Amino acid sequence: MIRMEELHSKGLMCVKERADASPFESGQTTLLVQVKKHQGMTNEHAVKQLPEMLKAHPAADACVMSLADGFTVEATALADTHGVVLMDGETIASLLLAELSQVSPLQ
């Protein structure tokens, strides 16, 4: 089960029990997410919010998901500095289609 909560309008925090993914791990895994509905390129503003969130949750992973075509050089550099994963619209669509292809249709 995944629990999600909004963090002061700055983003989402998703928490999942590790035992749900592997019987060999315990505890929780946390992902901090910024979701953006941009066109063209997403700039560093989307990434700037995550380092502050990571201070409060240092063991978490962080990700910016944007429907844009990509990210600016500045956004990419900032993400690299803070270990933030960037996902553009094409990547999000590819992951969604791959996941949907594994789901059997309703009978």
Domains in the chain, number:
1
pTM, rounded to two decimals:
0.78
Give the SS3 label for residue 15: strand
DSSP 27-81: SEEEEEEEEE--SSEE-THHHHHHHHHHHH-TT-EEEEEESSSEE-HHHHHHHHH
**Which pLDDT score is estimated for 45?**
92
Examine residue 91 and state whether it is found in any structural domain, yes or no.
Answer: yes
Examine residue 84 and state whether it is found in any structural domain, yes or no.
Answer: yes
Q: How many CB atoms lie within 10 A of CB 37?
A: 10
Examine residue 43 and state whether it is found in any structural domain, yes or no.
Answer: yes
Type of residue at 65? M
Average model confidence (pLDDT) for the chain?
A: 84
Examine residue 17 and state whether it is found in any structural domain, yes or no.
Answer: yes
Examine residue 9 and state whether it is found in any structural domain, yes or no.
Answer: yes
Q: pLDDT tens, 39-68?
A: 999 999 999 989 888 898 888 999 999 999
Examine residue 107 and state whether it is found in any structural domain, yes or no.
Answer: no
Examine residue 27 and state whether it is found in any structural domain, yes or no.
Answer: yes
Q: pLDDT tens, 4-47?
A: 666 655 677 778 766 665 666 667 788 899 999 999 999 999 99
CATH for 74: 3.40.1350.10
Examine residue 60 and state whether it is found in any structural domain, yes or no.
Answer: yes
Domain that holds residue 21: 2-101
